[in-house]
């Protein structure tokens, strides 16, 4: 019998881990610099946490949730996104009693029964941030600035930021009516997806990617022309803050985002390196969600981005993370030197060097082949011949040359090289 991965999931193999470690270290560093603190919620929650907040007729809730009843007959769902669960935790741990803003970041796997393709999986990793308790447009700009900093720091190029305002509940209902009036004569030409949403949630139709629908939406009224004065001011102020921080953006009045809980600001980061699944992240304001969960009215703003799509974009741009730790392989001849080699490896590891001892007894020739294939920077050869001279042969795999050094000199050289490598990062 041979087992295969479930459709839409992937193994992240050891050779691919360095880019993950790199991005993970950056997301922690950038978030902390902005005063966001990490929160880890469970991978599964009570189903209602998502179904009631994300929206019953969103794709996520209607078609994509991994839901089941546990052995205690509870309705459970593997989290499809982060915000709803974090809002639940915000209230459950009484963060609402703390002075605002309360700022969280999170990172981990999400689950959606999506149709798998390049950049779209059933288990994928999201990095996200949430800022609770402030309705000032500066908070929206800060969320966008943090995301921009992260993308810049990891070297992702050609990313476009699109922004929009989806208004508050009052202006949305006016817009909803306008949209329905405009679309009613075209209803029969709309795809099935839009047809279903026509009555339940017409704004969501604007998300549809079908060319025939997009053609119809082309002349639909724009939400920014109907939003109320306050929402309009908020939107302009967000833009003033972005300009002040030299963050470039485009206004996309068709940007509505997939989830129901957004109010006012909505934004998305689009990578030109990706094909159909070109959104690497997005977010916006969700001023009604906390109240919806039974808390007091609390403004909030956040974003989430998908790590797999970021990695795909980096690969497309041939951007690779800086090297891992210095990797050293020590080969000892005979039992006595093996003991010494194990000790030397221990000394090197103290400097965060990856030091391994070859205890397979393979020949020098096959050792070199192995070291080359596995990207070791140095091979240290400690044979009887070296021992007699109180030296170790140090082979630099990149340069292809070698020298003989004392054990103390070897440690010094490795220490220097690893420090230089770190400064380069
Ligand atoms: P959303 O939570 O739908 O706003 O998605 C935020 C980001 O998560 C997207 O921009 C993607 O980068 C990523 N994402 C969403 N769904 C998937 C998926 N099925 N597979 C991979 N990444 C995804």
User: Residue 259: which pLDDT band, with cuts at 50, 70 and 90?
Assistant: low
Residue with tokens 């070698």: 402
Asked if residue 131 and residue 244 are part of one domain, the reply reads yes
Cβ–ligand 1 contact at 96 (below 6 Å): no
CA dist., res. 292 & res. 290, Å (int): 5
Adjacent-strand bridge partners of 300: 132
Question: Which CATH number goes with the domain that contains 280?
Answer: 3.30.930.10
Strands, E assignment, 257-406: 263-271, 279-285, 300-306, 327-332, 354-358, 378-382, 392-396, 401-405
64 lines ligand 1 (CB under 6 A): no
- Residue 283 Cα to ligand 1 midpoint, Å, equals 11
pLDDT at 424 over 70: no
- 8 part of a folded domain: no
Same domain as 383, residue 282: no
- Best mutation site among 108, 124, 128 for ligand 1, i.e. most ligand atoms within 8 A of its Cβ? 124
What values do phi and psi take at 27, rounded to 5?
-65, -35
Q: Check if the beta carbon of residue 279 is closer than 8 Å to that of residue 270.
A: yes
364 vs 385: CA distance, rounded Å: 13
Q: Are 214 and 208 in contact (CB under 8 A)?
A: yes
| Neighbour tally for 15: CB within 10 Å | 9
| Beta strand segments in 214-346, E | 250-251, 263-271, 279-285, 300-306, 327-332
Is the CB of 304 within 6 Å of ligand 1? yes
Looking at the fold, whether 107 and 155 belong to one and the same domain comes out as yes
Mean per-residue pLDDT, 83-92: 97
Is residue 193 domain-resident?
A: no
Look at 127-136, 186-195, 307-316, 400-409 and tell me which has the smallest mean pLDDT.
186-195
Q: Is there a single domain that holds both residue 30 and residue 106?
A: yes
Residues 265 and 393 in one domain: no
Same-domain status, 305 and 364: no
Phi, psi of 8 (to 5 degrees): 85, 5
**Residue 196: inside a domain:** no
281 CB under 6 A from ligand 1? yes
| Strands (DSSP E) found in 195-349 | 250-251, 263-271, 279-285, 300-306, 327-332
Asked, for residue 198, whether it belongs to a domain, the answer is: no
Of ligand 1's listed atoms, the one at least distance from the Cα of 81 is 2
End-to-end CA distance of the chain: give it in Å, rounded. Answer: 46
Q: Which stretches of 131-228 are DSSP H helices? A: 137-153, 169-183, 192-200, 211-217
The band of 59, judged by pLDDT with boundaries at 50, 70 and 90, is: confident
pTM: 0.88
Q: Is residue 175 part of a domain?
A: no
Does the residue 210 lie in any domain?
A: no
What is the spatial distance between Cα 174 and Cα 228, in angstroms, rounded to a whole number?
10
CATH number at residue 375: 3.40.50.800
Boundary of a domain, candidates 269, 294, 316: 316
- pLDDT tens digits, 205-255: 887 878 888 888 888 898 888 999 999 999 999 999 999 999 999 999 988
H helices, E strands: number in the chain: 15, 16
> Do 351 and 399 belong to one domain?
yes
Six token digits for residue 391: 């030296």
Q: Give the position, in ligand 1's atom list, of the atom nearest the Cα of 128.
A: 6
Model confidence at 322: pLDDT above 70: no
Cα–Cα distance between 253 and 263 in angstroms, integer?
14
The separation between CA 255 and the C-alpha centre of its own chain, rounded to angstroms, equals 21
**What is the full DSSP assignment across 64-96?**
I-EEEE-TT--EEEE-S-SHHHHHHHHHHTTGG
* Angstrom distance (rounded) from CA 147 to CA 160: 12
- Indicate if 276 and 341 belong to the same structural domain: no
| pLDDT on residue 367 | 94
What is the pLDDT at residue 425? 58
Last residue of a domain, one of 269, 289, 316: 316
In sequence order, which residues have a C-beta less than 8 Å from that of residue 200 and are 6 or more positions away? Answer: 57
Asked whether residue 241 falls in the same domain as residue 334, the answer is: no
Query: Is the same domain home to 26 and 136?
Result: yes
Residue 191 CB coordination number (10 Å)? 15
Test site for ligand 1: of 10, 63, 115, 126, most ligand atoms within 8 A of the Cβ: 126
Q: Assess whether 246 and 349 both reside in one domain.
A: no
User: Which of the listed residues 293, 316, 339 is the one where a domain comes to its end?
Assistant: 316
Mean pLDDT over the full length of the chain: 92
pLDDT tens profile 350-376? 999 999 999 888 999 999 999 999 889
Residue 117 token pair: 């393709």
What residue numbers bound the domain in which 310 lies? Answer: 14-168+227-316
In a domain, 6, yes or no: no
Q: Do residues 156 and 233 both lie within one domain? A: yes
pLDDT at 12: 96
Please identify, by atom number, the ligand 1 atom nearest to the C-alpha of residue 305.
Answer: 7
Going from the Cα of 306 to the center of ligand 1, the distance in angstroms, rounded, reads: 5
| pLDDT class of 423 with cuts at 50, 70, 90 | confident
Report the pLDDT averaged over residues 280-300. 95
Task: Tell me if residue 313 falls in helix, strand or coil.
Answer: helix
Q: Is 241 within a domain?
A: yes
CB atoms within 10 A of CB 6: 9
Is the bond leading into 46 cis (omega within 30 degrees of zero)?
A: no
Rg of the chain in Å (alpha carbons): 27
Share of the chain above pLDDT 90, in %: 70
Please tell me the distance from the alpha carbon of residue 206 to that of residue 225, in angstroms, as a whole number: 16
Task: Determine whether the shortest distance from the Cβ of 140 to ligand 1 is under 6 A.
Answer: no
List pLDDT tens digits, range 2-28: 999 999 999 999 888 989 999 999 999
| Band (346; pLDDT cuts 50, 70, 90) | very high
Domain count, the chain: 2
Percentage helix, strand, coil, to 5, in the chain? 45, 20, 35
Span from the CA of 190 to the centroid of ligand 1 (angstroms): 25
pLDDT band at 258 (very low <50, low <70, confident <90, very high): low
Asked if residue 154 has pLDDT above 90, the reply is yes
Beta bridge partners of 269: 161, 281
């Amino acid at each position: 019998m041979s087992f295969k991965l479930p459709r839409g999931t992937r193994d992240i193999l050891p050779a691919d881990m360095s880019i993950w470690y790199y991005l993970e270290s950056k997301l922690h560093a950038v978030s902390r610099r902005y005063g966001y603190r990490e929160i880890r919620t469970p991978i599964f929650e009570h189903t209602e946490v998502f179904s009631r907040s994300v929206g019953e007729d969103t794709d996520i809730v209607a078609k994509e949730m991994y839901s089941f009843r546990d052995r205690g007959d509870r309705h459970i769902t593997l989290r499809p996104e982060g915000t709803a669960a974090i809002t639940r935790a915000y209230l459950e741990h009484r963060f609402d009693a703390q002075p605002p803003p309360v700022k969280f970041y999170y990172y981990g796997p999400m689950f959606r029964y999506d149709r798998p393709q390049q950049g779209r999986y059933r288990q994928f990793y999201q990095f996200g941030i949430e800022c609770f308790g402030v309705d000032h447009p500066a908070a929206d700009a800060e969320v966008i600035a943090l995301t921009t900093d992260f993308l810049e720091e990891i070297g992702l190029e050609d990313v476009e930021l699109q922004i929009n305002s989806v208004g508050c509940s009052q202006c949305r209902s006016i817009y909803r009516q306008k949209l329905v009036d405009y679309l009613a004569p075209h209803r029969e030409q709309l795809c099935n997806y839009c047809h279903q949403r026509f009555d339940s949630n017409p704004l969501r139709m604007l998300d549809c990617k079908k060319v025939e629908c997009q053609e119809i939406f082309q002349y639909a009224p724009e939400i920014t022309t109907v939003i109320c004065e306050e929402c309009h001011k908020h939107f302009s102020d967000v833009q003033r803050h972005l300009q002040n921080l030299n963050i470039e953006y485009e206004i996309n009045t068709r940007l509505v985002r997939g989830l129901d809980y957004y109010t006012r600001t909505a934004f998305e980061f689009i990578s030109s390196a990706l094909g159909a699944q070109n959104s690497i992240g997005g977010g916006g304001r969700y001023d009604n969600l906390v109240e919806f969960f039974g808390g007091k009215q609390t403004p909030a703003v956040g974003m989430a981005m998908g790590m797999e799509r970021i990695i795909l974009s980096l690969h497309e741009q041939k951007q690779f993370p800086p090297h891992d730790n210095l990797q050293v392989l020590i080969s000892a001849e005979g039992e006595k030197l093996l003991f010494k080699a194990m000790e030397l490896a221990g000394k090197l590891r103290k400097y965060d060097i990856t030091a391994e001892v070859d205890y397979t007894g393979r020949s020098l020739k096959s050792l070199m082949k192995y070291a080359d294939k596995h990207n070791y920077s140095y091979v240290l050869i400690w044979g009887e011949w070296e021992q007699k001279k109180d030296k170790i042969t140090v082979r630099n795999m990149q340069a292809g040359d070698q020298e003989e050094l004392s054990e103390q000199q070897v440690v010094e050289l490795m220490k220097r090289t690893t420090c230089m490598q770190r400064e380069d990062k």
